[in-house]
Amino acid sequence: GAGVSQSPSNKVTEKGKDVELRCDPISGHTALYWYRQSLGQGLEFLIYFQGNSAPDKSGLPSDRFSAERTGGSVSTLTIQRTQQEDSAVYLCASSADWNNSPLHFGNGTRLTVT
């Protein structure tokens, strides 16, 4: 595809359930990022993958959050035992390299925990 693709577009889940959010970056992009955007807030960095290097997990808010990137392409963000405060839009972005190339964002997944 031409852009970053995220699925699902919207997800409603019950408190305590696990959810998986998917990101399909632009082909050939080595860097992939996950951000969280709470209502009316800016973007909060979660995790960053660059090529085959160990991911930067410094932004993950708790051990209930994890992410993986298989084969240097598709990434999955997993939230275990969801809480109401996890409700937000989760945005994925990719870039051709780690510094100069701009980030290209997907349309995000809106997660609602009831």
Partner 1 sequence: AQTVTQSQPEMSVQEAETVTLSCTYDTSESDYYLFWYKQPPSRQMILVIRQEAYKQQNATENRFSVNFQKAAKSFSLKISDSQLGDAAMYFCAYRSAFYGGSQGNLIFGKGTKLSVKP
Instruction: Report, in Å, the least distance between residue 16 CB and partner 1.
Output: 26
Q: Verify binding: residue 43, partner 1, rule CB under 8 A.
A: yes
Q: Verify binding: residue 56, partner 1, rule CB under 8 A.
A: yes
Binding mask 80-99 for partner 1 (x = CB under 8 A): ---------x-x-x-x--xx
Q: How far is CA 78 from CA 5, 55, 98, in A?
A: 17, 15, 24
Q: Verify binding: residue 103, partner 1, rule CB under 8 A.
A: yes
C-beta neighbour count of 84 within 10 angstroms: 9
8 A C-beta contact, residue 92 and residue 37: no
Q: Verify binding: residue 65, partner 1, rule CB under 8 A.
A: no
Spatial neighbors of 77 by CB under 8 A, at least 6 apart, are: 20, 21, 23, 34, 46, 47, 65, 66, 67, 90, 92
Q: Verify binding: residue 52, partner 1, rule CB under 8 A.
A: no
Residues that bind partner 1 (CB under 8 A): 31, 33, 35, 41-43, 45, 48, 50, 56, 58-59, 89, 91, 93, 95, 98-100, 102-108, 110
